[in-house]
Amino acid sequence: MAADVRAFARTATELYRDVALAEKHHLPPHDHDRLKRAIEEVKYHSEEAQNLLKAQEQEQDDANGELGSQDWTSNPASAAAVLVHYESILRNKRLMLAYVHERCQKIKAFRWRLGNAVPKEIVDRMAPEEVHFATQYNRILSEYMTGAGVDDRLGNIDLTLDATLPPKEPYVKVLVKRDIGEFVTEEGKTVHLIPGSMHLLRRCDAEPLIVQGVLEHEGYA
Amino acid sequence: MDDFAQHDEDDPLTQHNTNVDEDPYARLKRAFVNERACPEILQYEESLVDEAVEHVDMQQAELDDRRASAATAEAGRDSSASDDLVDLLKTMELDRVKYLLRAYLRTRLYKLETFSLHIMQDSNLFSRLSQRERRFLGSHTDLLDKLHDDLVLKHLPQQFNSLVQQDTLVGETNDMVPSPNLDTHVFIRVRGDLGRVNVGYSESEPNGRPSEVDMSAGDQFVVRYRPIAQLLANGEVELL
């Protein structure tokens, strides 16, 4: 493994690039192998640095018997090597954390955009740890929005609404994208939402459906 | 934001800290704009939110009543056009208040998520949060911790396994906690005559000199956030 390990954080860079260059709403599959390799590289760098440090200590003990003195001037090559190993560790660490963080942001965005119903093909691209995170994030966000366990006056408030701009009119023009058949509005009227048809709906009725992608916001009345 | 402009016409700019007589809608709007434009999280406007919720509930109940009585009356005669118009206006107002409320809370939630660790570490910032926000922040930080730990950190050598420090052997400071940039510039409007105000650097900041400007009611400036943070907290200026 020594050969490809000398790439100094190249694996981690590729790892991060994979998610950084992905399209906004696209989550690439979790790259377990590369992540594991990057971790191995950190271990390798860490061991190498430790060995160099030990060798240096040994050398100095032999020379003057003085413990803990750090005189690298006689040995600039290994001093530089230790530094490069050290910097490689930090760089690897940051890249890996950035990778996890970036994916985490995307996973959160799914919750906001699609609600609880994250499609299976997206879940399949997550690591088990990420699936756990997604479930738990969903839970704490719902807890916040329903106000579970807190005593305040806010009640139940759905913050994932407002896919449209600030309200100008009480009615919005929407285009039906998906067939969900009959829909009963808050006022108790029934609308047939047939794909391709346009409707004028009240904001509060239309909002949840726009977020779900059943309707598309076409403009104001 | 132009949609809300008409509410601003009678905004008493000359008033000092006296939010009490002001339209609650204008105050909620200001809370939202301040929060939106401010790099750090501000004090949670609890009474304002409560008031808005109460208002929404009341209006909603009233609307429901009107609809119910209109439905029974409709059998007898046509519902009058003016009633419909009033309904429409009330619905619109309700939608706007709700929108503003959600936008306000969402903006705060976004800051909580972005600066989780930073806010958790700072008791002053933490004290600005509502009960709900505190709960959310606590669980959110734990989740983030766990995710990064399980995937990366716990596999690294001990020296490098901290989420908040690059290297735990070097110093005590947490050098990996993202925090908002308080030196960013913001647009402000002065709400009352304040006289000369230092918008340069204070004595505790060695990298610059103080510089004073005259602030009178209604003036607008672009200034660094840090020097005016306290004025904003006192309600003496507002962000734009």
Instruction: Kindly list the residues from chain B whose CB atom is less than 8 angstroms away from the CB atom of residue A147.
Output: 132
Higher pLDDT, B87 or A86: A86
Are B99 and A93 an interchain contact pair (Cβ–Cβ within 8 Å)?
no
| pLDDT at res. B9 | 42
- Please check whether residue B221 lies inside any domain of the structure: yes
What's the average model confidence in pLDDT over B163-182?
82
B85 touches chain A (CB under 8 A): no
C-alpha–C-alpha distance, residues B213 and B221, integer Å: 10
Q: Tell me the nearest-neighbour CA distance from B226 into chain A, angstroms.
A: 28
**Residue B21 pLDDT level (bands cut at 50, 70, 90):** low
| pLDDT at res. B75 | 55
Q: Tell me the nearest-neighbour CA distance from A38 into chain B, angstroms.
A: 9
- Please check whether residue B6 lies inside any domain of the structure: no
Residues whose CB is less than 8 angstroms from the CB of residue A152 and which lie 6 or more positions away in sequence, other chains included: B46, B50, B130, B131, B132
Q: Tell me the nearest-neighbour CA distance from A193 into chain B, angstroms.
A: 23
Q: The pTM is what?
A: 0.81
- Crossing angle of the two packed helices A10-20 and A32-64, in degrees rounded to 10: 150
For A217, the token pair is: 């916001």
C-alpha–C-alpha distance, residues B119 and B133, integer Å: 11
C-alpha–C-alpha distance, residues B129 and B155, integer Å: 35
Count of other CB atoms within 10 angstroms of residue A22: 14
- Please check whether residue B59 lies inside any domain of the structure: yes
**Residue B8 pLDDT level (bands cut at 50, 70, 90):** very low
- Please check whether residue B36 lies inside any domain of the structure: yes
Residue A172's Cβ-count burial label (10 Å; 0-12, 13-18, 19+) is buried
Are A167 and B146 an interchain contact pair (Cβ–Cβ within 8 Å)?
no
Count of other CB atoms within 10 angstroms of residue B231: 19
Q: Tell me the nearest-neighbour CA distance from A66 into chain B, angstroms.
A: 23
User: Closest chain A residue to B90 measured between Cα atoms?
Assistant: A170
Asked if the model's pLDDT at residue B42 lies above 90, the reply is yes
C-alpha–C-alpha distance, residues A203 and B98, integer Å: 11
Domain that holds residue B98: 12-113
| pLDDT at res. A98 | 92
C-alpha–C-alpha distance, residues B109 and B137, integer Å: 9
- Please check whether residue B232 lies inside any domain of the structure: yes
User: Closest chain A residue to B144 measured between Cα atoms?
Assistant: A133
Residues 164-183 of B with CB under 8 A from A: 166-167, 176
- Please check whether residue B3 lies inside any domain of the structure: no
Q: In this predicted structure, which of A52-66, A166-180, B151-165 has the lowest mean pLDDT?
A: A52-66
In the numeric block, the tokens 């992608």 are attached to A213
User: Closest chain B residue to A45 measured between Cα atoms?
Assistant: B157
Domain ranges of chain A: 2-146, 171-220
Asked if the model's pLDDT at residue A221 lies above 70, the reply is no
Instruction: Kindly list the residues from chain A whose CB atom is less than 8 angstroms away from the CB atom of residue B99.
Output: 162, 166-167
B238: helix, coil or strand?
A: strand
What's the average model confidence in pLDDT over A33-58?
87
B58 touches chain A (CB under 8 A): no
Q: Are residues B101 and B125 in the same domain?
A: no
Q: Are residues B58 and B124 in the same domain?
A: no
What's the average model confidence in pLDDT over A32-58?
87
Task: Name the DSSP letter for residue B157.
Answer: -
CA dihedral for A175, A177, A179, A183, sign (positive or negative): negative
What is the second-level CATH architecture of the domain A2-146?
Answer: Up-down Bundle (1.20)
| Highest mean pLDDT, choosing among A187-201, B97-111, B190-204 | B97-111
**Of B113, B144, B170, which residue sits at a domain end?**
B113
ipTM of the complex: 0.80
What's the average model confidence in pLDDT over A84-91?
88
- Bin A44: left if φ > 0, else alpha if -120 < ψ < 50, else beta: alpha
| pLDDT at res. A59 | 76
The count of structural domains within chain B is 3
Are A153 and B103 an interchain contact pair (Cβ–Cβ within 8 Å)?
no
CA dihedral for B140, B141, B144, B145, sign (positive or negative): negative
- Please check whether residue B1 lies inside any domain of the structure: no
